[in-house]
Structure 1
Amino acid sequence: MTLAVYIGRFQPPHRAHVDTMLSALERHARLLVLPGSADLARSVKNPWSAPERVRMIRAALAGAGADLRRVRFAPLPDEFDAALWAAGVRVAVGTPDAVLVGCEKDATSSYLRWFPEWEADSAPVTPGLNATDLRRAYFTGEPVPDLPDAVWAALGAFRQTRTFRRLRAEYTAVQAERSRLAGATLPLREVRHCHVAGGHVWLRRRTGPIGRGLWELPGRWLDLGESPPPGARVFGHPSRSLVLPGVAHVLLSDGGGEAVPLAWALARPRQFFEDHHVILRRLLGSPAAP
């Protein structure tokens, strides 16, 4: 029985996503959906948790008459490292007898070429339809087209929550910061400190509208022309930053902050800003600079 695999962030699940799943179910016996960014905090880029996205997709598929007994979901964490992420995908799929469903529309779809052992099942591209534009419309109060009825209902309910109001304020702040930094030399550079001792890690709570209340590694932005500190571990994945592409130079040193039990922090990735939980895990697992 052929297994079709469909990877995406589905933020939110739109008509083309659901049509692709329905088409895959017509051609293959089973469908495995891997909702990505499952371990990241809510943000304007990832507003909905993995369980919320799974419920929306299941409801949309059921509304279209799909047999949900043939559909399985396995939320996929981000690693901000192509090789580690691809390894996680292979573990989630668990078989070499799979078909990878998707459409290569831009650089974010390049992962479709990372699994040569799987047959490719290309889905058609829907011109002008992408989740980035749908999120922009959602947070600015514009009509949000191309959503299945079940997804539209879920987003309408979410709009009534305090979480939506926080994310809408974050969206406004992100756009303002991008305008302020227009013309800046990219990527932006920052220095962060990872201090672990006595079963604790030193963290700082964010207070501004971008990532309000989330934990981060203490640090600061580097001034223009300022050299990064020697011996720092570099984290520069293109998708790590919410505002503009940024590179973190991380030192294993004391940079202040609040002592937080390390085990508690490691168990709560969705309470960390951007990729800071991934940085913490990576440093604890491999402290030597690459």
Structure 2
Amino acid sequence: MKEGPDSASPPAVYIGRFQPPHDAHIGTMLDALEHAPRLTVLPGSANLARSAKNPWTAPERIRMIRAALVERGVDARRVRFRPIPDEFDSVRWAAHVRAAVQTERAVLVGFEKDASSSYLRWFPEWTAHESPVTPGLNATGVRAALFGDREVEAVPPAAHAFLNDFRRTRTFRRLQAEHFALLAARVAWDGQPVQEVLLCDVRRDAVTLRRRTGAIGRGLWELPRLSGNAAPPEGARVFDHPSRSLVVPATAHVVTGRAVGERVPLALALARPHRFFEDHHVILRRMLGL
């Protein structure tokens, strides 16, 4: 594989969840390295707990990508990885991206397939490079095949081997159960907007949390919910990012107040984002002004 342009050219930047990395992802990276001397890969959702939507940690995804690129003859020194968190807020998220790239000149690679890739227009100071498109190939379909116990196709050999090993773990079985629970919940949804009221109870350096017991998010912490269909309280903080909920679109109305649940040291809770359901860790931080 050729070395690409001279080292003075700006680096390429590729943002994605890569859950998991498939052939189109690797093709985009190879194309980027044909046009830029270096590539910065930003695996997203790095702060979220494992779920059927985000089954693999940032280190696991980086391992699969790095191995797949080496398989294709890429010099690993030309590629660096900078995991970025989900903030469920475009301004905060874009700030993380810019901080990770650390350069004013860059080439942002990708193609705008739907609303999830609208971020490609959020960095006007960077040059855009449209990647080659592989019709019909997406990570959602790869995950569906994996959790449906079907043969996984269109992933590089290194990722295929990793996924086969993953199938034999307890984590896979838990997430497979969550996958089917999510499908059932979406089928049962009546299409009406979902509103939920959450309580943020922080007192004496501890926060009240509950552990989820159902198949969706089993064992994860969440902010306590008010039961029933009460109207959202006056003065509640609203969290309504379209990607915040795993099940169906939902708006969270968050208020401060006393709640029943497990009292967790606040410092411990803040240091463990991967133990929280959906965006509840982000909500806690925002409610505390962090």
User: Is the TM value for this pair above 0.5?
Assistant: yes
Question: Counterpart amino acid of 1:126?
Answer: T
Give the one of 232, 235, 238 matched to 1:234.
238
TM-score, normalised with respect to structure 2: 0.95
Please list, as runs of the form range in 1=range in 2, the aligned pairs for 1:55-66 lying within 5 A after superposition: 55-66=63-74
Secondary structure of 2:84's aligned partner: coil
Give the one of 273, 281, 285 matched to 2:277.
273
Please list, as runs of the form range in 1=range in 2, the aligned pairs for 1:38-53 lying within 5 A after superposition: 38-53=46-61
Question: Counterpart amino acid of 2:62?
Answer: V
Distance in 1, matches of 2:82 and 2:24, equals: 20
Is residue 205 of structure 2 the alignment partner of residue 199 of structure 1?
A: yes
Question: Counterpart amino acid of 2:236?
Answer: A
Question: Counterpart amino acid of 1:62?
Answer: V
Secondary structure of 2:288's aligned partner: helix
Secondary structure of 1:248's aligned partner: strand
- The aligned counterpart of 1:148 is 156
Is residue 181 of structure 2 the alignment partner of residue 177 of structure 1?
A: no
How big is the shift at 1:146? Answer: 0.5
Is residue 247 of structure 2 the alignment partner of residue 243 of structure 1?
A: yes
Distance in 2, matches of 1:254 and 1:3, equals: 50
How big is the shift at 1:222? Answer: 4.9
TM-score, normalised with respect to structure 1: 0.95
Please list, as runs of the form range in 1=range in 2, the aligned pairs for 1:203-214 lying within 5 A after superposition: 203-214=209-220
Where do 5+ consecutive residues of structure 1 fail to align?
Answer: none
How big is the shift at 1:172? Answer: 1.1
Question: Counterpart amino acid of 2:204?
Answer: G
Distance in 1, matches of 2:289 and 2:133, equals: 40
Is residue 119 of structure 2 the alignment partner of residue 115 of structure 1?
A: no
Distance in 2, matches of 1:269 and 1:48, equals: 15
Question: Counterpart amino acid of 1:173?
Answer: A
Where do 5+ consecutive residues of structure 2 fail to align?
Answer: 1-7
Question: Counterpart amino acid of 1:193?
Answer: L
Distance in 2, matches of 1:254 and 1:157, equals: 45
Secondary structure of 2:54's aligned partner: coil
Q: Which runs of 4+ in 1 moved over 3 A?
A: none
- The aligned counterpart of 2:83 is 75
Q: CA-to-partner distance for each residue in 1:230-275, whole Å, 9 max, x for gaps?
A: 1111000000000100000001111211110000000010000000
Question: Counterpart amino acid of 1:7?
Answer: I
How big is the shift at 1:34? Answer: 0.1
Distance in 1, matches of 2:54 and 2:35, equals: 30
User: Contact 1:191 / 1:222 at 8 angstroms: preserved in 2?
Assistant: no
Give the one of 221, 233, 258 matched to 1:254.
258
